[in-house]
């Protein structure tokens, strides 16, 4: 699933051998994409749809955190990578919102209960952070470091998932909708491409190992909630799922989906990456493959339609 590199990020002073990180202004036409874009596998579809629910607002939170830290960053190369990261995450948020609006909502699945709560949190955060900074700059900096560490943890998993979906040829064999597959692989490739940015920002802000561990624990619970809770929520709302959604049926379907290669093993993925991410000397450049990401971006239909050559 992961491929070691010899490089590191801007803050570590090692060249990752990628061109400047820049957003690709992609767009997707969902008019021909079915609700179950993994044919015959609604659970696999909805496990991955769980990401579509949390990513639009989640990406906006990532951007807020990095923007808060940006005035304190002195490394010019890292500042350049931050600009690229923010641009990419903005396009990611917009692209996943299109799935919510044009596929889920069109098919009668309402995710507003989740997205509205996340949007409220994002709307309230700037005022909360400004008030905290006014009262205690030290507490503000401590909270920001914790949030950056949480984002860095999530970015680790999105990069690993991006590598998995780029390398998984069983999805084509399963007949996965090509537009959705390109969205997931384009996004995954960019996650691999910019995987070091938030980690490097966290380190540049004085982030230390105990904070990284504590934030990873919180992030792990969030990811479990997003994937398990989100997929169950979607399955229960899916108008085409006529059988009662029970934990046993879902577990059986999940095991079948993993065996068929439609989704990764969630529990193995989340806990299995712990020894890698929690190594004291860990750096994101030590996992996944930037060349593989750039290779996919060079052939991605959406990226090429946007007129961007990664080389």
What is the Cα gyration radius of the chain? 19
pLDDT tens per residue across span 53-70: 999 999 999 999 999 999
pLDDT at 3: 34
What percent of the chain is modeled with pLDDT above 70?
A: 93
Q: How far apart are CA 96 and CA 231, in angstroms?
A: 16
The predicted model scores a pTM of 0.92
Q: Which of 222, 199, 201 is nearest to 270 (CA)?
A: 222
Q: How far apart are CA 264 and CA 271, in angstroms?
A: 13
In the structure, how many helices (H) and strands (E) does the chain have?
A: 14, 0
Contact by Cβ (8 Å): 277, 156? yes
pLDDT tens per residue across span 210-265: 999 999 999 999 999 999 999 999 999 999 998 888 888 899 999 999 999 999 99
Contact by Cβ (8 Å): 192, 290? yes
Q: Which tokens belong to 265?
A: 């093993």
Q: Which of 158, 170, 4, 169 is nearest to 96 (CA)?
A: 158
Contact by Cβ (8 Å): 273, 223? no
3-state DSSP assignment of residue 91: helix
pLDDT at 42 over 70: yes
Mean of pLDDT values over 300-305: 93
Number of alpha carbons in the 13 Å side-chain half-sphere of residue 74 = 3
């Amino acid at each position: 699933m992961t491929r070691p590199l010899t490089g590191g990020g801007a803050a570590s002073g090692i060249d990752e051998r990628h061109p400047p990180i820049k957003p690709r202004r992609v767009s997707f036409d969902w008019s021909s994409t079915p609700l179950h874009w993994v044919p015959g596998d609604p659970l696999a579809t909805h496990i991955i749809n769980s990401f579509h629910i949390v990513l639009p607002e989640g990406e906006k939170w990532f951007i807020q955190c990095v923007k808060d830290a940006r005035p304190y960053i002195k490394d010019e190369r890292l500042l350049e990578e931050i600009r690229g990261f923010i641009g990419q995450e903005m396009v990611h948020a917009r692209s996943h919102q299109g799935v919510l609006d044009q596929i889920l909502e069109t098919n009668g699945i309402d995710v507003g209960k989740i997205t509205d709560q996340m949007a409220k949190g994002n709307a309230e955060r700037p005022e909360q952070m400004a008030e905290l900074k006014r009262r205690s700059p030290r507490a503000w900096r401590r909270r920001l470091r914790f949030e950056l560490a949480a984002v860095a943890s999530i970015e680790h998993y999105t990069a690993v998932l991006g590598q998995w979906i780029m390398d998984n040829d069983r999805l084509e064999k399963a007949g996965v909708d090509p537009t959705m597959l390109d969205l997931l692989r384009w996004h995954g490739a960019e996650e691999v491409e910019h995987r070091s940015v938030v980690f490097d920002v966290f380190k540049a802000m004085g982030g230390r190992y105990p904070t990284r561990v504590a934030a990873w624990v919180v992030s792990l619970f969030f990811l479990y909630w997003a994937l398990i809770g989100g997929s169950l929520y979607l399955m229960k709302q899916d108008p085409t799922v006529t059988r009662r959604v029970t934990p046993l049926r879902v577990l059986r379907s999940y095991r079948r989906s993993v065996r068929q290669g439609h989704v990764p093993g969630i529990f193995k993925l989340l806990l299995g990456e712990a020894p890698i991410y929690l190594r004291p000397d860990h750096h994101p450049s030590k996992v996944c493959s930037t060349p593989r990401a750039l290779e996919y971006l060079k052939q991605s239909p959406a990226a090429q339609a946007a007129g961007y050559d990664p080389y």
